[in-house]
Structure 1
Amino acid sequence: MTQHDLSDRPPVHALLADGTTVRIRPVRPGDHDQIEGLYEEMSPENLRLRFFSPCRSSARLSADRACAPARPGYRALLAEAQGRVIGLGEYETGDDKDTAEVAIAVADGLHHRGVGTLLVEHLVSAARADGITALTADALSENREVLKLFADLGLRTERCFEGPEVRCTIALDQSDTYLTAVEERGRTADVVSLKPLLRPKTVAVVGAGRRAGSVGRAILHQLHAGGYSGRLFAVNPAARSILGVPSYPSVGALPRTPDLAVVAVPAAAVPMTAEECGRAGVRALVVVTAGLDADQGHALLTACRSYDMRLVGPNCLGISNTEPDLSLDATFAAGHPCPGTAGVAVQSGGVGIALLDGLSRLGIGVSSFASLGDKYDVSGNDMLQWWESDGRTGLALLHLESFGNPRAFSRTARRVTRRMPVLTVDAGRTEAGRKAAASHTAAATTRTMTRGALFTQAGITATRSAGELLETAALLHAQPLPAGPRVAIVTNAGGVGVLAADACAEAGLALPAPTLELSGDLLAVLPEGAAAGNPVDATAAVTEQQLGECVDRIMRYGGIDAVLVALVPTAVAAATGDDLVRSLTGAAGRRAKPVAVIRLEQGLPVELLPAAEGGSIPSYAEPQAAARALAHAAHRAAWLARPAGTVPDLNGVETDRARTLVADHLAAHPDGGWLDPRTCADLLTCYGIPQIPWAWAETEDQAVMAADRLRGADGRVVMKAHWPELVHKSDQQAVHLDLRGDQQIRSAFRDLRTRFAGLMTGVVLQPLAARGTELFAGVVQDQVFGPLVLFGLGGTATEVLADHAARLAPLTDHDVHDLITSPRCAPLLFGARGGGPVGLGRLEQLLLRLSRMAADLPQLAEADFNPVLATPDGVTVLDARIRLVPCRPQDPYLRRLR
């Protein structure tokens, strides 16, 4: 068992069940007096429950043990609130290094707030990193609180009663049940902590100026004019009243402590203002100020963490909550957002203004809005959890330029997306965009492929612009989801129908031809000269009634999932363009399939047209916009129709041995690097990844002997040069193929030794592989997103063709299926061109095992399996390279604030 040193780790902050911020950190020798005081302040009854007797000497002995010099197998963590120790969690292994005994102590008066549970979660994470597989705890059978704590963790717990005592054994298997339980506790705490921010009873604007045009004055005006229902104050030492709102010289001078303070002071004054707010008892800050340097930013966040304040910003537009009994508009946008059902979170204030205006214009409206700015604290993940719980939001819109904890975000998004559409703008797709994002948010950004994998796996609808986001939101808000991608186009102008058909095909939608029966039904109600294909050309003479009957008959046809109606105004029919649209909107509320309209003469990109019986129908000025929105809706429907994937159990995996191999290699190579062939092969063996037989040789004679052992029926072998930095063997001409006989082996070895003198450390020999499909599988460890598994076409052209798909590990069964079917080369795997299908089950196993290896080993920076030979009989890795780097294990699902 390898014990990882946690003593030098910085403290982390996390939320208790009541939304309070606490600090979790390792115990230090200087904590002795505080720990002793923690126990001394306990009631005799709580001391008895903790130590099985009310002995006061236990306090000193426990403090001595916790603060003793570091020793193998012992961990101790403190929970602190505003500098006071409120809890202690510890575990220690005995003779059985796989098991540790755990103990928890919580200060009197702080029970039932989740202190003990949070400490146990952090101890569980540390224990897993140390290779511990189970925790044990002894408790009195009457100590219902601690027994309930262990029972509610979400981990498999067994109890053994021995007289008045109970021994609990907690298995530390990484189950989805435990992650879900941790996630639910985190969601509850997060929502409670956001109430002072999004439902404040009192708001103060710090830095509200008397001069027109100042940001603070603009925010104060928005709050006052927007009808905020709570108490509102300004803070300005030079004024007694601003815009009719009472003003005070400082936060401390306010007659009531505000829940929320909106800070609009110069950057240099922000840390001092945050400190003042914290001392006064403010629970949330919105900092609109931009231009904070690193020291100012650090001081701001430290004040928020120390005084238990949630923070939006800095460098943001502000926040809004349109609940009728609140009407909070703490922004400096030009207008007030209309109340509605869309939750909006953005990093860019400009994008936020555009989305607020667009949603208000469409009539969708906004439930709550947060401009996250530089996102020091409150993030998109927080807002998703708020919208999930607020009872008002039915549509979530995000514009995120960076991600703090993508794996936690992904789990939250997967859950929320089952309940409501979650849409985002895929910002920073290009190198220029990524540079702009990094400059704008001072945060690291991520690869397009990685973000795409996150969005796909989480069911997030990713659009390419704010305009496309609004276009898609309009359809998802107003219309039901299609059951599939099959679209029927109806038009009164053939040319517009062709444009719509092109747009649908380009968006990946299908345009099935109508059956003879349907064609006959349509022609029976359409004017003479109509064509009942797909598109349906209803001609310029179509009337309001005829168009309505045509669409209704298509809607009743089972082979169509959505209808797109493309209209242009004409002077042929008595019905105007508005009449024709009304024929569609009149029954929009009764339809079970989505309908969208294209009107080329429309001035706005998208409108929502009211339906006569309630509801609305989206109308687009461009065919491409309508087709994109329908395609996004079809993708969402398909994602919802598929059950949530599971990470399959794998047999034959030797995780402990693999971790030992990695630790040994990094001990010998502290800076990391590429594994030698032997270690690489050993690591693959730990995960049951199939490899072609091979042998290592460092001399000519060894090469001949190895070739004799490896020759197959045809006697042909392959020789590959090796040195640690060699990545592309073919490019370096460091491979000899189809070698026969001893002489060719010797000649090949001498050639490689001569050309790569001073570099080559040896050669790898393999039997010449059979013919098959050459594939690529690999892993890239992203610093932000974690391991990304890639799959696609392999061989020498893999980088040129770039035919790869990617998913974030750990892979579920659905993820593996998507990986295999997404690349352009996928038809080759299913027997295209007469090659016969490859062993898909074994290919799935290879990807799952690669995913497991990447998830188990955070030190795995890169893995490159190229080529992977796939044949009908199996899947074999022909060449594997793995690079390790020193990396401290980190639990991405551990509850902690940014």
Structure 2
Amino acid sequence: MTETVNASQQVHALLTDGSTVRIRPVLPGDHERVLRLYDGMSTENLRLRFFTANRNSARQSADRLCAPATPGRRALLAESGDELVGVAEYDTLPGTGTEAEVGLAVSDRWHHRGAGTLLLEHLVSLARADGIIQFCAEALAENHAMLKVFADLGLQTTRHFDGPEVHCTVRLAEDETYLSAVDLRGRTADVASLRPLLRPRSVAVIGPGRHPGSVGRAVLRKLRHGGFTGRLFAVHPHAPVVLGTPTYPNVQALPLTPDLAVLAVRASAVPLAAEECGKRGVRGLLVVSSGLDARQAGALRSACRWYGMRLVGPNCLGIANTDRSVGLDATFAADPPEPGSAGVAVQSGGVGIALLGGLSRLGIGVSTFVSLGDKYDVSGNDLLQWWECDDRTDLALLHLESFGNPRTFSRTARRVTRRMPVLTVDAGRTDAGRRAAASHTAAAATPTMTRQALFTQAGITATRSIAELLETAALLHAQPLPGGRRIAVVSNAGGTGVLAADACAEAGLTVPPLPSALTAALLTELPHGAVADNPIDTTAAVSEDQLRACLSVLSAAEEVDAVLVSLVPTAVAAATGDRLPRAVTCLPRDLACPIVAVLPDQEASVRLLPAESGSIPAYADPQAAAHALAHAVSRAEWLSRDAGRIPPLEGIHSARAAGIAAAYLSAHPEGGWLEPRDGAALLDCYGIPRLPWGWAENEDEAVREAERLSGPDGPVVLKAYVPGMIHKTEQHAVRLDLRGDAQIRAAHRDFVTRFHGRLAGVLVQPLAEGGLELLAGVVQDDVFGPLVLFGLGGTATEVLADHAARLAPLTDQDVHDLISAPRCAPLLLGHRGATPVDVGCLEQLLLRLSRLAGDLPELAEADFNPVIAGPDGVAVADVRIRLTPSRTYDAYLRRLR
């Protein structure tokens, strides 16, 4: 073949059995390969594909598939190594422009592995980008396999039977049903591909080394003595035996093909070792080697993709599966992971060691552990899907420094967090992240805000440190979720109770006064002098039995959602022999209310106390306990609310908007800021309300537009339009409350003088009649996609920095959260008797802005500031929109990194 395929045109993806295929456009040079594909098909399958067993039809199909590309026709192939797996094509039907006929053929050897469905998913993505809205296909009624492929896609499909033939029509509109079907297929394929890594039946360590300091030798020792139940080999060119393990000179000499190969060789030797593993048929590769340069890294990736190997690493600590039927500890951590129920995925080996040690000390233990290292392939998203299908895991801990596909990660995490807590460390919060930007929106959209939006929408518990991660994991593992934010604080020393109450309040919890009936019930159980307000001071004279009775009453009270008990050692308890912590651990098993302890005298920041009710988390300081409780409350609130939906919107003209963007970028290939008229046209395409306005290129036109908009006496606003200007107010490019011809002409002449040679025109608007000034905007993030921001607007928006953000597409729940999250939210609802704004109109504006951002990947920034919100509606007073050239990217298309 003389043709080449651009790297952006080819992707690798997983089939249902976990094998890897490459998908790319069909080239003219593929003609002989396509013919061989058809020649290898059985007569029956050939008949089902072409309605005849005559192989001339196959040749005609090959000619069509491999013809030079023409508009309205697409053809894709899937290949594994040198083998052609299948082909798929569509041709736009004449006279339609939006409907295409689709065809599909898969090699007999690759049937029932999801190759046809995967090809169709990629063909559907291309068709949508080309404006195709419907596929049609003809099939024989007896071709049950093909009919099932169309039915199982998840797209709306109709069938029409005509004798022995079936006419299928497939609507290509992407909806939740389709995305869920893609998710399920992706999860099945992902889990299958990870089995050689996490449940291998045989492992080969390549490069174990003879010296005690060798990383490979350490991994081999851990495997040999860690209870691995499969067959274990070592590969070393000279040593006949390493640590008592059978050793072979190279991978080809091994007596069987290992499921998993651990590469612990020098960086320069990694590509060749990976190539040898691929040729032998290894399915999983763990590379603990570090220091690969760009060429070596590229060669490693290429070998893994060509031979269909999943890769963990390089530069990683290793992997482990504590299931006794596997016993895999392929790490070089000092201590073996304790068996348990937490799934752990980290990029940093040091963080991994800290988490393994902390989970072991707490007694939670680990189900599976993966150190992702430089994360060339296997990612946190893969591990979430593994744990979702693993009945041993009920807690997921992540430490990720980067996200390959945040939108896919978010969909997966939203699903997994419904089943188990997913915790992470929000690293890098001190990075100001403020770009040199030409809009308020871009300035506000820091990387921290983007990452936090992802965590919030996905229901991920984001902590500030490794210690807080473990402290929160202890509570979520050991106790039920709180029913609300009302905390009862109990202490045997008044000062510590006050500190605990302060910590709860600072963490966003409440410590409310208790009702009189509950107070009276508590006082009957407590010693004389006790105070039964909240916090509750039992006094140092409290006995073990009295404290237990007090906690029992509180844990059963409807007015209490959680109990925090802070206990300090006293001479009184020592003299009486009372062990107050035992009052906490001996509470009944059937408690629905979570209880946490604060024991300032303990050395560990958190530990789990064995208790009749399971275990009680005990913290060394009240702040740790309060933060853990706050995270538990947030999780309970997230689980209790509706998942949200993307509501349908009327009056959307996506095609017209795409035409505006295409026309602008055709005239400005490098991109830039839209002129006001084009910006207003884009808003109109999405039904986004804006203040009336006029455009004037001289002072006579300014006077006419002012009279048209506000009558002869105004008042009006004039805004100078100077291409490239960032903030109009700071440049004195706005004149407010102008009345009559004289003021308007004077303001226009001032603009002409001030911006000599740069003034492109003037916007004329009626003066807004009061209202709250808000900011709404979008920033297109290269990795995370469109981020929608909302908050307080006007000239002080950056000073006050009162903004919230969510990733598009927005659900109705996301919009509710966006509006209620900023500190200014009470102003929207009528703070202190003020008239509330029309929140429904505000929600519609944000939903339509989200749709605009989703439809136009060319939209780099959109800045609506101010948005004037009042009781009768909302309107955009000023808009700035920047477009950049952008290739269409389907975030939900199945593909490997």
Structure 1 length-normalised TM: 0.97
CA contact (8 A) 1:12 1:23 kept: yes
SS where residue 469 of structure 2 aligns? helix
State the one-letter code of the partner of 1:758. G
**Aligned-pair Cα RMSD in Å:** 1.6
Deviations 1:531-578 (A, max 9, x none): 001110000110010000001001111011000000000011357798
User: Quick one: structure 1 residues 658 and 638, their matched pair in 2 at CA, closer, same or farther if it must change by over 3 Å?
Assistant: same
Deviations 1:652-688 (A, max 9, x none): 1011111111111111111110001111111000000
Q: In 2, distance between residues paired with 1:576 and 1:130? A: 82
CA contact (8 A) 1:543 1:574 kept: no
Deviations 1:213-270 (A, max 9, x none): 1100111111111111111111111211111111111111111111001111111111
SS where residue 431 of structure 1 aligns? coil
State the one-letter code of the partner of 2:673. W
State the one-letter code of the partner of 2:19. T
Deviations 1:427-446 (A, max 9, x none): 122229999xxxxxxxxx98
User: Quick one: structure 1 residues 575 and 536, their matched pair in 2 at CA, closer, same or farther if it must change by over 3 Å?
Assistant: farther
State the one-letter code of the partner of 1:777. A
Q: How many residues align?
A: 884
Residue 708 of structure 1, CA deviation: 1.5
Question: Which residue in 1 is equivalent to 2:431?
Answer: 431
Q: In 2, distance between residues paired with 1:119 and 1:573? A: 72
SS where residue 636 of structure 1 aligns? helix
CA contact (8 A) 1:314 1:375 kept: yes
Question: Which residue in 1 is equivalent to 2:510?
Answer: 510
Residue 579 of structure 1, CA deviation: 1.8
Question: Which residue in 1 is equivalent to 2:439?
Answer: none
Question: Which residue in 2 is equivalent to 1:798?
Answer: 797
CA contact (8 A) 2:552 2:587 kept: no
User: Quick one: structure 1 residues 70 and 726, their matched pair in 2 at CA, closer, same or farther if it must change by over 3 Å?
Assistant: same
Does 2:534 match 1:534?
yes
State the one-letter code of the partner of 1:568. V
State the one-letter code of the partner of 1:408. T
Q: Which aligned pairs between 1:466-865 and structure 2 lie closer than 5 A?
A: 466-573=466-573, 579-587=579-587, 589-611=589-611, 613=612, 615-712=614-711, 715-865=714-864
Q: In 1, distance between residues paired with 2:711 and 2:843? A: 27
Residue 332 of structure 1, CA deviation: 0.3
Deviations 1:506-552 (A, max 9, x none): 00001111111111111111011100011100001100100000010
SS where residue 590 of structure 1 aligns? coil
- Show structure 2 runs of 5+ residues with no match: 436-444
Once the two structures are overlaid, the 10-residue window that deviates more, 388-397 or 716-725, is 716-725
Does 2:49 match 1:50?
yes
User: Quick one: structure 1 residues 43 and 771, their matched pair in 2 at CA, closer, same or farther if it must change by over 3 Å?
Assistant: same
CA contact (8 A) 1:569 1:576 kept: no
Q: In 2, distance between residues paired with 1:43 and 1:391? A: 42
State the one-letter code of the partner of 2:92. T
Residue 834 of structure 1, CA deviation: 3.1
Residue 108 of structure 1, CA deviation: 1.2
SS where residue 135 of structure 2 aligns? strand
Q: In 2, distance between residues paired with 1:807 and 1:197? A: 35
User: Quick one: structure 1 residues 815 and 205, their matched pair in 2 at CA, closer, same or farther if it must change by over 3 Å?
Assistant: same
CA contact (8 A) 1:37 1:59 kept: no
State the one-letter code of the partner of 1:673. G
Residue 62 of structure 1, CA deviation: 1.2
State the one-letter code of the partner of 1:759. R
Deviations 1:586-644 (A, max 9, x none): 12532111000001111000000001x35110000010000000000000000000021
State the one-letter code of the partner of 2:145. E
SS where residue 534 of structure 1 aligns? coil
User: Quick one: structure 1 residues 241 and 260, their matched pair in 2 at CA, closer, same or farther if it must change by over 3 Å?
Assistant: same
SS where residue 337 of structure 2 aligns? coil
SS where residue 889 of structure 1 aligns? coil
State the one-letter code of the partner of 2:647. P
Question: Which residue in 1 is equivalent to 2:313?
Answer: 313
CA contact (8 A) 2:433 2:447 kept: no
SS where residue 572 of structure 2 aligns? coil
CA contact (8 A) 2:712 2:740 kept: no
Q: In 1, distance between residues paired with 2:7 and 2:204? A: 39
Question: Which residue in 2 is equivalent to 1:286?
Answer: 286
Q: In 1, distance between residues paired with 2:571 and 2:806? A: 54
Q: Which aligned pairs between 1:353-368 and structure 2 lie closer than 5 A?
A: 353-368=353-368
Residue 390 of structure 1, CA deviation: 1.3
Q: In 2, distance between residues paired with 1:198 and 1:58? A: 46
CA contact (8 A) 2:573 2:580 kept: no
Residue 68 of structure 1, CA deviation: 1.3
Question: Which residue in 2 is equivalent to 1:180?
Answer: 180
Question: Which residue in 1 is equivalent to 2:873?
Answer: 874
User: Quick one: structure 1 residues 174 and 575, their matched pair in 2 at CA, closer, same or farther if it must change by over 3 Å?
Assistant: farther
SS where residue 108 of structure 2 aligns? coil
Q: Which aligned pairs between 1:103-502 and structure 2 lie closer than 5 A?
A: 103-431=103-431, 447-502=447-502
SS where residue 584 of structure 1 aligns? helix
State the one-letter code of the partner of 1:36. L
Deviations 1:331-365 (A, max 9, x none): 00000010000000000000000000000110000
Q: In 2, distance between residues paired with 1:406 and 1:83? A: 32
State the one-letter code of the partner of 2:851. R
State the one-letter code of the partner of 2:237. P
Q: In 1, distance between residues paired with 2:432 and 2:128? A: 41
Q: In 1, distance between residues paired with 2:176 and 2:18? A: 24
User: Quick one: structure 1 residues 890 and 854, their matched pair in 2 at CA, closer, same or farther if it must change by over 3 Å?
Assistant: same
CA contact (8 A) 1:589 1:614 kept: yes
Residue 700 of structure 1, CA deviation: 1.7
Q: In 1, distance between residues paired with 2:248 and 2:642? A: 57
Residue 6 of structure 1, CA deviation: 9.8
Residue 724 of structure 1, CA deviation: 2.3
CA contact (8 A) 1:712 1:767 kept: no
- Show structure 1 runs of 5+ residues with no match: 436-444
Residue 458 of structure 1, CA deviation: 0.2
State the one-letter code of the partner of 1:484. G
Q: In 2, distance between residues paired with 1:153 and 1:588? A: 51
User: Quick one: structure 1 residues 803 and 107, their matched pair in 2 at CA, closer, same or farther if it must change by over 3 Å?
Assistant: same
User: Quick one: structure 1 residues 8 and 69, their matched pair in 2 at CA, closer, same or farther if it must change by over 3 Å?
Assistant: farther
SS where residue 768 of structure 2 aligns? coil
Residue 713 of structure 1, CA deviation: 8.6
Q: In 2, distance between residues paired with 1:399 and 1:568? A: 35
Q: In 2, distance between residues paired with 1:135 and 1:884? A: 31
Question: Which residue in 2 is equivalent to 1:440?
Answer: none
Residue 758 of structure 1, CA deviation: 2.1
Question: Which residue in 2 is equivalent to 1:66?
Answer: 65
Residue 714 of structure 1, CA deviation: 5.7
Question: Which residue in 2 is equivalent to 1:35?
Answer: 34
CA contact (8 A) 2:205 2:261 kept: yes
SS where residue 836 of structure 1 aligns? coil
User: Quick one: structure 1 residues 82 and 323, their matched pair in 2 at CA, closer, same or farther if it must change by over 3 Å?
Assistant: same
CA contact (8 A) 1:541 1:572 kept: yes
Q: In 2, distance between residues paired with 1:394 and 1:610? A: 19
Structure 2 length-normalised TM: 0.97
Question: Which residue in 2 is equivalent to 1:441?
Answer: none
Q: In 2, distance between residues paired with 1:722 and 1:559? A: 59
User: Quick one: structure 1 residues 588 and 207, their matched pair in 2 at CA, closer, same or farther if it must change by over 3 Å?
Assistant: farther
CA contact (8 A) 2:215 2:332 kept: yes
Question: Which residue in 2 is equivalent to 1:102?
Answer: 102
Q: In 1, distance between residues paired with 2:479 and 2:551? A: 15
Residue 59 of structure 1, CA deviation: 2.2
Question: Which residue in 1 is equivalent to 2:440?
Answer: none
Q: In 1, distance between residues paired with 2:795 and 2:241? A: 73
Residue 313 of structure 1, CA deviation: 0.4
Q: In 1, distance between residues paired with 2:655 and 2:433? A: 42
